[in-house]
Copies of this chain bind each other. A is one copy, B any other.
Amino acid sequence: MTEHEPGYKTRTARQSAGPSETGDVNLGLLGGYIGYHLRLAQNASFRAFQSKSGRADLRPGWFAVLNLIGDNPGITPIALSRAAGRDKSTLTPILRDLTEYDYVVSKPRPGDRRSYGLSLTELGRERLGELAAHAKAHDRVLDEIAGKQKEDFIRILKRIAEELA
């Protein structure tokens, strides 16, 4: 898309004209849509968290998974995927990495040879601790923003996730 006619070569210009300026973009109907703001907020939150935990073995995507395994020893990948809100196929490489790093171990499930149960290793508990420190600091900022409406705020988020499932 670099095919614009030579056109004019006015040099006066001053970026005076309009709506292309940074701040004064007209959002129109968009400004009233919950979905739009939801995406911007989630995006900002994710980036902020990601930028803090820079290590290769402390990826933000691992936090929820480690947390859930820690709180539910013996959990299966499928239960994990539902709780973490991720597709089961998304979990496969994550669990492979977590196992390679020795943060997680899987044991066969008596009574069902298709599946296996997951639990944290001691090392995994350590890493979870580090991630939790990041997460806590991160969520403290969000808590401040939400203020005393935090409970209401989370309640609405929960209902959105439930009712649109």
A interface, by DSSP: helix, strand, loop or mixed?
Answer: helix
Pick the residue among B6, B64, B67 that contacts A71 (CB under 8 A). B6
How many copies the complex holds: the figure is 2
B79 with A34: CB separation less than 8 A = no
A137-165 contact mask (Cβ, 8 Å, vs B): 1 or 0: 01101110110011011101111111111
Q: Chain B residue with minimal CB distance to A118?
A: B20
Interface size band for A: 35 or more
Pick the residue among B12, B40, B75, B108 that contacts A5 (CB under 8 A). B108
Besides A4-B108, A25-B79, A30-B67, 4 new A-B residue pairs in contact (Cβ under 8 A), listed by A number: A1-B99, A1-B106, A35-B139, A40-B157
